[in-house]
Chains A and B, each alone.
Chain A
Amino acid sequence: MAERVGIYVCHCGSNIAGTVDVEEVARWAGQHIKDVVVSKDYKFMCSSLGQAMIEEDIKTKGLTRVVVAACSPHLHEKTFRRACANAGLNPYLCQMTNIREHVSWVCTDKAAGTEKAKALVSASAERVKYQRPLEPMYVDVNPATLVVGGGIAGLQAALELADAGHPVYLVEREPSIGGHMAQFDKTFPTLDCSACILTPKMSEAGQHENITLLTYSELEEVSGSVGGFTVKIRKKARYVDYDKCTGCGICSEKCPRKVIDTVFEAGIGERKAIYSPFPQAVPRIPVIDVDSCLYFTRGKCQVCSKVCPTNAIDYEQKDELIEVKVGNIILATGWKLFDCARMPQYGYGRLANVFTNLEFERLCNAAGPTNGKIVLRDGKTEPKSVAIIHCVGSRDVNYNEGCSAVCCMAALKLGHLVLEKTNAEVYSFYIDMRTNQKMYEEFYQRLLAEGMHFVRGKVAEVTDAARNPDEQGKLIVQCEDTLLGRQRRIPVDMVVLMSAMEPQADAKELGLKCGISCSMAGWYTERHPKLDPVATMTDGVFVAGVCQGAKDIPASVAQGAAAAARVQGMITKGRVMIEPIVATIDEEGCSGCRICNNLCPYNAIEFDEEKKVSRVIAALCKGCGTCVAACPAGVITGAHFNNQQIFAEIEGALWDAAAAKTEEETATQSVSA
């Protein structure tokens, strides 16, 4: 019996209708495609009225197949499958045609767009007739969650889940959790002390009965899928016994080896070879940096081992690989600072008193290397004037096109701290002042009132080449003041570069391990930029915080909580639906050649030695279809993407070529006749 196909062409307001004659597509499909019994166009097919129309037609007109020509299936396939299911039609008998992202938005010519849309609708209509009802498969969700990154976003996510009673593995690369927020002195716009609001969360996470803290550890390998991931984690050797160490800190105190701390102190402070990055570190267990430790580099010293009251130092410790099983993964891996030396015109690394904002944060921090005193690189002179340069490495096509989102407010905060702690004049060199969150504009107004100077313009150069006695011994900031409309040279003692936030160097690599991708700028790609900002294209993998795009602390916290809420939803439900797109082997036809066996990256194909045939283990199959394409006997079927369906789709897509050919043949025949 012939199928009864319904075609539904969406206008999407003017998004599709602007470059595709949707009425014509619907009319044409109704007249020219075989087995089509209904063909309609509608303003917004995804609206409840549009869906109701489809449901109504399925019931009253007895449709057995549905084609919705609208946006990308990645956006609304679920919507229309649900509508079909509501009307009693198996959801896999519905096919979407992408005439928005793939047609109307990329075409300029309406006639060409309409033709392309017809071809795609025809492809779907031919394919859908061969689609088979499929039953969704369900897998249980392991209630444990892996959170990667112990900065504020990851902490928030971990705590939300742990407080709800679910086990969490919190993995952090550094010896302590806390992330960048632990380095800051104050937070804008409220100026509360960063440590005062962060450290309680850190210790809560450290002591939480549901949180397993894995610091100084990195993600090695991820396998499995939503509901049941298996994760290998490398616990790097600390050379300190985790169970014996009490965190008293005597080892660090007595360690004779001092080195520059390029991580936590951003290169302006020191630490010992055995160290905890900061006093409130969680956990308090120190690590030995083998590259600077005298025992590891020269074979002599062992002072830490001698002074340790609990014998916790273990020079023989090795990296440990542990395996955990989780249902979901939240990536909150944060950012790294733009390397300001890449912009030589600003003199960073060449002119001593040019600082990055992170260095300056450490200068301002009461627990920092200068005990919170703002001084020049010599460690004692208070600056009389400070220039803060915005957008260093951001909003710049040569480095990072995007805005780092936090620097304007951070610059105002640093300006305030300079005004509060010194008698210096503060100049801010900005392109645009972006203070668009709650209480941010008010903070800007406050700084204006406090006497911070604002110069609008992108700084051309920071130099120590003086042109007159006033500039002697100073750093001169050369800039076009675009409000005054003239060049200015402003001599200062100190320059702070508001450096861009950049994706972590290994963000892409980690993303690949978890099956998610990065944008061109390097941030993790969310499932939908507006409506699904913390989910990713891979089910069971979520992102939170700056790793998804530059943002400030409140936004990071909100995303951490949002990701946790999404995971909690899945845990509460207990099981998750996975697409029944798997391969099956017809044992009758299988010759037992075993070509498919080695092609499967998931070892989902087993060989039955007795019957001499291969068999797919459905629970392991991910549905890529590689074995289907490789089977020399053609007896492997890929559900929802079988040969018959794809051949029909190709045929449909080329309906006009076939039509042209028939015409030609008819013409030749009539001539020869």
Chain B
Amino acid sequence: MSDETFEPKIVGFMCNWCSYRAADLAGSARIKYPPNVRIIRVMCSGRIDPTFVLKALSLGADGVMVAGCHPGECHYIDQNYKAMRRFGMLKHMLAAMGVEAERVQLVWASAAEGQQLADAVEKLVADVRALGPLNWPGNWNEHKDRLEAIESMVKEHAEAMEVLP
């Protein structure tokens, strides 16, 4: 597949109150952005289980957007901070698995920020387009080192848990 014809497939997980509504507003305002993002609504970015992101990538998504309300503006008081912490963890994991950081992006958008959301989609699509198809985990066996990296990460984590009270 040549880069000119590569259309990235992107899954967007968006919270019901801010980012999904930002996408609604982008629509009402007829703001145009690339058609590559397929939006899945959850009630809160705190609901976004890292496995959702992994699942999407393993099913053929080339990139994922995780979007929530701005820090301090969560509909559920502060659950987006929990999403933010989880996202940090996920980034480490993805790096170990050889997934480029640009493929999975965290975006904050308030319900009034249709334009900002559209810009974020545009950026994500451009970034992923530049990286090319992920084809994951199709090339998994070619990267034994990655498997080892993950295994050692899990081991480290288990050890760390044991020293905890």
Question: Is A638 positioned at the interface, with any CB of B under 8 Å from its CB?
Answer: yes
Name which residue of chain B comes closest to A626, CB basis.
B46
Which chain B residues lie closer than 8 Å to A73 at the CB level?
A: 41
Question: Is B78 positioned at the interface, with any CB of A under 8 Å from its CB?
Answer: yes
Across the interface, A102 reaches (CB within 8 A) one of B11, B17, B23, B60, namely B23
Bound CA–CA A236/B138 (angstroms): 65
Bound CA–CA A601/B77 (angstroms): 7
- Chain B stretch 1-47: residues in CB contact (< 8 A) with chain A: 9, 11, 17-18, 21, 23-28, 30-33, 35-36, 38-44, 46-47
- Chain B stretch 40-72: residues in CB contact (< 8 A) with chain A: 40-44, 46-52, 55-56, 59-61, 72
- Chain B stretch 113-133: residues in CB contact (< 8 A) with chain A: 113, 118
**B71-113 interface bits toward A, Cβ cutoff 8 Å, 1 = contact, 0 = none:** 0110111110011001000000000000000000000001111
Which chain A residues lie closer than 8 Å to B118 at the CB level?
A: 106
Q: A629-B48, A650-B55, A654-B60 are in contact. Are A622 and B9 (CB under 8 A)?
A: no
Bound CA–CA A72/B24 (angstroms): 7
Which chain A residues lie closer than 8 Å to B113 at the CB level?
A: 520
Which chain B residues lie closer than 8 Å to A61 at the CB level?
A: none
Which chain A residues lie closer than 8 Å to B52 at the CB level?
A: 646-647, 650
Question: Is A116 positioned at the interface, with any CB of B under 8 Å from its CB?
Answer: yes
Question: Is A625 positioned at the interface, with any CB of B under 8 Å from its CB?
Answer: yes
Bound CA–CA A123/B55 (angstroms): 14
Which chain B residues lie closer than 8 Å to A24 at the CB level?
A: none
Question: Is A112 positioned at the interface, with any CB of B under 8 Å from its CB?
Answer: yes
Which chain A residues lie closer than 8 Å to B60 at the CB level?
A: 654, 656-658, 660-661
Q: A106-B35, A650-B52 are in contact. Are A629 and B46 (CB under 8 A)?
A: yes
Whether the pair A113, B35 counts as a contact (CB closer than 8 A) is yes
Bound CA–CA A647/B138 (angstroms): 19
Across the interface, B44 reaches (CB within 8 A) one of A72, A105, A624, namely A624
Name which residue of chain A comes closest to B72, CB basis.
A512
Across the interface, A651 reaches (CB within 8 A) one of B23, B46, B59, B76, namely B59
Bound CA–CA A650/B9 (angstroms): 12
Bound CA–CA A94/B162 (angstroms): 46
Across the interface, A654 reaches (CB within 8 A) one of B11, B17, B43, B77, namely B11
**A595-639 interface bits toward B, Cβ cutoff 8 Å, 1 = contact, 0 = none:** 000010110000000000000000000111110111000000010
Across the interface, A626 reaches (CB within 8 A) one of B41, B47, B50, namely B47
How many residues from B make CB contacts under 8 Å with A? 52
Whether the pair A116, B112 counts as a contact (CB closer than 8 A) is no
Name which residue of chain B comes closest to A117, CB basis.
B35
Q: A102-B24, A102-B27, A599-B82 are in contact. Are A626 and B44 (CB under 8 A)?
A: yes
Which chain A residues lie closer than 8 Å to B23 at the CB level?
A: 101-102
Bound CA–CA A112/B52 (angstroms): 25
Whether the pair A101, B28 counts as a contact (CB closer than 8 A) is yes
Q: A624-B47, A658-B60 are in contact. Are A512 and B73 (CB under 8 A)?
A: yes
- Looking at chain A, what size class is its interface with the partner chain? 35 or more
- Chain A stretch 581-607: residues in CB contact (< 8 A) with chain B: 581, 599, 601-602
Across the interface, A98 reaches (CB within 8 A) one of B18, B39, B78, B82, namely B39
Across the interface, B47 reaches (CB within 8 A) one of A625, A647, A661, namely A625
Question: Is A649 positioned at the interface, with any CB of B under 8 Å from its CB?
Answer: yes
Whether the pair A123, B72 counts as a contact (CB closer than 8 A) is no
Whether the pair A101, B38 counts as a contact (CB closer than 8 A) is no
A646 → chain B, closest Cβ, in Å? 6
Which chain A residues lie closer than 8 Å to B86 at the CB level?
A: 629
Whether the pair A102, B39 counts as a contact (CB closer than 8 A) is yes
Across the interface, B73 reaches (CB within 8 A) one of A517, A538, A624, A649, namely A517
B49 → chain A, closest Cβ, in Å? 4
B133 → chain A, closest Cβ, in Å? 10
Which chain A residues lie closer than 8 Å to B42 at the CB level?
A: 625, 641, 646
Which chain A residues lie closer than 8 Å to B75 at the CB level?
A: 515, 538, 624
Which chain B residues lie closer than 8 Å to A650 at the CB level?
A: 11, 40, 52, 55-56, 59, 61
Question: Is A203 positioned at the interface, with any CB of B under 8 Å from its CB?
Answer: no
Q: A102-B27, A107-B35, A512-B72 are in contact. Are A626 and B79 (CB under 8 A)?
A: yes
Which chain B residues lie closer than 8 Å to A625 at the CB level?
A: 42-44, 46-47
Bound CA–CA A105/B25 (angstroms): 10
Whether the pair A658, B59 counts as a contact (CB closer than 8 A) is yes
Most buried by B among A73, A102, A108: A102
Which chain B residues lie closer than 8 Å to A86 at the CB level?
A: none
Bound CA–CA A108/B31 (angstroms): 10
Whether the pair A626, B82 counts as a contact (CB closer than 8 A) is yes
Bound CA–CA A518/B27 (angstroms): 18
Whether the pair B112, A653 counts as a contact (CB closer than 8 A) is no
Whether the pair A105, B43 counts as a contact (CB closer than 8 A) is no
Across the interface, A116 reaches (CB within 8 A) one of B35, B49, B51, B61, namely B35
Which chain B residues lie closer than 8 Å to A624 at the CB level?
A: 43-44, 46-47, 75-76, 79
Which A residues fall within an 8 A CB radius of B?
72-74, 98, 100-103, 105-109, 112-113, 115-116, 119-120, 123, 512, 515, 517-520, 525, 537-538, 581, 599, 601-602, 622-626, 628-630, 638, 641, 643, 646-647, 649-651, 653-654, 656-658, 660-661
| Extra pairs beyond A74-B21, A106-B118, A116-B35 (4, CB < 8 Å) | A106-B26, A537-B17, A537-B111, A538-B75
Among all A-B residue pairs, the 10 with the closest Cβ atoms: A657-B60, A101-B27, A625-B47, A626-B46, A624-B44, A624-B76, A105-B27, A601-B77, A629-B49, A653-B38
Instruction: Give me 16 A-to-B residue pairs in the complex whose CB atoms sit less than 8 angstroms apart, sorted by A's number.
Output: A105-B27, A106-B27, A106-B30, A116-B35, A517-B18, A517-B110, A520-B113, A538-B75, A599-B79, A624-B79, A626-B76, A629-B47, A630-B82, A643-B51, A646-B52, A651-B55
